[in-house]
Structure 1
Amino acid sequence: MNLNQLKVAFDEAGKTVQNLQDKRANMILDLKGDVNSHSQEELIAVKNELAKATVVRDEAEAAYADARANQIAGMKEKEPLTPTEENMKNKFVSDFKDMMHGKVFNQVDSSMDGSGSDAGLTIPQDIQTAIHTLVRQYDSLQDYVNVESVGTATGSRVYEKWADITPLTELDDEGTKLADNDDPKLSVIKFTIKRYGGINTATNSLLKDTAENILAWLTSWIAKKVVVTRNTKILEVMGKLPKKPNITKWDDIIDLESSVDPAIKKTSIFMTNTAGFTALRKVKDAMGRYLMTPDVHNPEIYTIDGYRVVEISDKWLADNAGSHPLYFGDLKQAVTLFDREAMSLLSTNIGGGAFETDSTKVRVIDRFDVVATDQEAFVPGSFKTIADQKANLTTPTA
């Protein structure tokens, strides 16, 4: 079973526990108003069910943590490493140890990012691949945007919005001429790769450890830094998308859907934070049924009008002045992350407080840029509360 499956199992088990905790809390509130609203057997049944679900959740978390630790520490490949690959891995670890002892390695020059020269140890591609594999195990917004690898520090791309795309012209014969008004409405999107750095402290005992453990420490630390940094920059771009009016009723959510071009609705999703997700789950129709419903194929995935609702941690997608964010559309059409794929390491035993603490600091550099492409493809809304739907029944007159 792969890490993604274990992560889903852990998330689902956690939601089951949360649902049962909510159920128990509601029963207690019911009993406060009416001591006969629930029987003793019902209370015992919920208590036992919650206890079992809690054990399942804890075991799922442990299994996921163990699997991730094994993957990181063992650096297992689907196929055994070739002698050349094994030598490259060992050489990188050897070079890393040498760098930590003051040796200077390959020069990352101005041709890479236009920001001047900087001596450092370039992280090999296979190690970067392992890092990006770990990134996907965390709560990463990068999974929802378009990611394009680039080989230059600056560049541009030409985009055509879905709403502006025209159909192909029928050519009945070789002499047919395309109409002049078929010229597409194109937008030029420019990117400039920027450098983002983070520092960590390496102990002397780490440098005496095995190659696998050193790689595990490096990849885990860098992956967390990459997630935090890239999430922050993606959210900055999302925050600049044109805002829509506040949502106060369920019909406003339908209006939010209608603001996205029908051509990309099949690939569209709703996105909100945990606080917003919880609030949406509680909205009911006139018959007391929840309006956000589980997917028929996977009950742990919730949908609105058949569109998946993606829940992002409040830590990344925070409320604004008490309002929950609610997006709809295709974020891959709206935002592109240009990845330079040129991570590097640099160490010092003098700067960053290393001299005072007699330690060695390691700095990682990540190079990327995040830009908005089609601002009409992912529409932001917000809400504080959404009222339950009221019955709209009239009694026929005689």
Structure 2
Amino acid sequence: MGINELNDAWISAGQKVDGMNAKLNAAVLDDAFDKDAFKSMKAQRDNLAAQRDAIKDQLDEARALEVRQMDNKDKQPLDDGQKGVRDQFVKEFKNMVTSTQEGKGNGGLTIPTDVQYTINQLVRQFATLQGLVNVESVSTTSGSRNYEKLSDITPLADLDDESAKIGDNDDPELTLIKYAIHRYAGITTVTDSLLKDSVENIMAWLSTWIAKKVAVTRNLKIIEAMGKAAKKPTIAKFDDIKDLENNTLDPAIMATSTFVTNQSGFNVLSKVKDAQGRYMLQRDVTQPDIYRLDGKTVTVIADRWLPDVSGAHPIYFGDLKQGITLFDRENMSLLSTNIGGGSFETDTTKIRVIDRFDVEVVDDGAWATGSFKEVANQAATTPADSGKTA
């Protein structure tokens, strides 16, 4: 499906969500209110909203991929309207920084969608952890979601009589997850020389600076959530990794599960050998940059993003997209001062960026986490005893 089709599907899905919201609003005001019917409509609305957001994510990915694959000769300069949006933002940014007066603040500056898109593209380069979890865009500062854990789903009833009456399914065991958007902020100091620079340079500096701050902040919160897994096996030998893979999660999650470790942990795993002396970690023959462990993708995170804990390397296995959700408020803002934060004493201007999001565990059984310092090789075998049984 192309970008145009995805865009049309996104618009159509949004219209369906709006339509369902209108029906829900009418239902709650109806004197003949039906609790079960309302519950069914609400579930349908939530499913449509999830589909709309998923289509939007795919649309963003398709647009980004198209840009990356474009030939330089096909790249067109910004038109006057696009330049106007960018130039206006930089103009307002300069005015915000230079308009602070002694004893007075200013109203700040909300980062527009187009600029946030650029920042988000940079965040993807820095924050590999965010790509591992589910990201849901929200428009409110707090809310809740109902989730059904995979392990709680019960089978359909077995009817051995063709004429038997079909009964109701068991009510699902839903877990209520509440989110509350937090504000995360960082401050940097700017000089007058920056404000005299070109629009392109100011945009590049702002985008990169904000992206780095956002990446570090979100990684920290995701790592905190990753440590809340229900199962935490001890890893000392390669067979322990096999146990982690085969015996800690619901088998239904196996198909979408992957390994995650940091660079130091990856270095240790890359040297582990099987009983025949072969390295257990193998390159994907179709994608040389991808490594697999027992057929499962291994994601390697830089130590600075995913550090060791007390000298032990972290390792995770499972489907983090099913287990963790980042609720993204998508409402970044900038504020400056030449009075507070030590600016007055140093005759400088400080700029604060605020990012708004929350990270919540929605299913702690969707992944397991362990740690290791060294991993012993599998014991070597010989043709004479390889077929022996205990």
Alignment-mate amino acid for residue 156 of structure 1? S
Change (3 A) 1:176 1:138: farther
Alignment-mate amino acid for residue 196 of structure 2? K
2:360 aligns with 371
Change (3 A) 1:178 1:342: farther
- Measured against aligned partners, the alpha-carbon deviations of 1:28-82 in whole angstroms (never above 9, x if no partner) come to xxxxxxxxxxxxxxxxxxxxxxxxxxxxxxxxxxxxxxxxxxx9xxxxx966545
Matched, 1:247 2:227: no
**Contact 2:290 2:297 survives alignment (8 Å):** yes
- Measured against aligned partners, the alpha-carbon deviations of 1:105-157 in whole angstroms (never above 9, x if no partner) come to xxxxxxxxxxxxx9311000000010000111124311111100000000001
1:324 aligns with 313
2:113 aligns with 125
Match of 1:203 among 181, 191, 210: 191
Which TM-score applies when normalising by structure 2? 0.73
- Measured against aligned partners, the alpha-carbon deviations of 1:207-235 in whole angstroms (never above 9, x if no partner) come to 11221111111101000000010001111
Q: Distance in 1 between matches of 2:167 and 2:309?
A: 48
Q: Distance in 2 between matches of 1:176 and 1:354?
A: 79
Q: Offset of 1:189 from its aligned partner?
A: 0.6
- Measured against aligned partners, the alpha-carbon deviations of 1:210-263 in whole angstroms (never above 9, x if no partner) come to 211111111010000000100011111112223423112222111111212222
Change (3 A) 1:290 1:328: same
Q: Distance in 1 between matches of 2:368 and 2:314?
A: 11
Q: Distance in 2 between matches of 1:139 and 1:85?
A: 28
1:340 aligns with 329
**Contact 1:139 1:313 survives alignment (8 Å):** no
Q: Distance in 2 between matches of 1:158 and 1:79?
A: 45
Which TM-score applies when normalising by structure 1? 0.72
- Measured against aligned partners, the alpha-carbon deviations of 1:173-224 in whole angstroms (never above 9, x if no partner) come to xx99763452111111100000011111111111112211111111010000
2:93 aligns with 96
Alignment-mate amino acid for residue 370 of structure 2? G
Alignment-mate amino acid for residue 119 of structure 1? G
Question: Which is worse superposed, 85-94 or 154-163?
Answer: 85-94
Q: Distance in 2 between matches of 1:395 and 1:359?
A: 77
Aligned residue for 1:136, secondary structure, equals helix
2:345 aligns with 356
**Contact 1:348 1:362 survives alignment (8 Å):** yes
1:227 aligns with 215
Matched, 1:304 2:293: yes
Aligned residue for 2:125, secondary structure, equals coil
- Measured against aligned partners, the alpha-carbon deviations of 1:337-382 in whole angstroms (never above 9, x if no partner) come to 0000000000000111111111111100100000001111111012
Change (3 A) 1:187 1:101: same
> Aligned ranges for residues 50-199 of structure 1 at < 5 Å?
80-102=77-99, 119-166=107-154, 179-199=167-187
Alignment-mate amino acid for residue 90 of structure 2? V
2:204 aligns with 216
**Contact 1:337 1:368 survives alignment (8 Å):** yes
**Contact 2:233 2:244 survives alignment (8 Å):** no
Percent of residue pairs identical: 58
Q: Distance in 1 between matches of 2:145 and 2:82?
A: 35
In structure 1, stretches of 5+ residues that fail to align are 1-70, 72-76, 105-117
Aligned residue for 2:322, secondary structure, equals helix
Considering only aligned residues, what root-mean-square deviation do their CA atoms show, in Å? 2.6
Aligned residue for 1:199, secondary structure, equals strand
In structure 2, stretches of 5+ residues that fail to align are 1-67, 69-73, 386-390
Aligned residue for 2:147, secondary structure, equals strand
Q: Distance in 2 between matches of 1:158 and 1:261?
A: 20
- Measured against aligned partners, the alpha-carbon deviations of 1:316-345 in whole angstroms (never above 9, x if no partner) come to 222222222111011111111000000000
Q: Distance in 2 between matches of 1:169 and 1:242?
A: 30
Match of 1:269 among 258, 261, 286: 258
Alignment-mate amino acid for residue 89 of structure 1? R
Q: Distance in 1 between matches of 2:327 and 2:217?
A: 14
Match of 1:391 among 374, 380, 388: 380
Aligned residue for 2:130, secondary structure, equals helix
Q: Distance in 2 between matches of 1:154 and 1:81?
A: 37
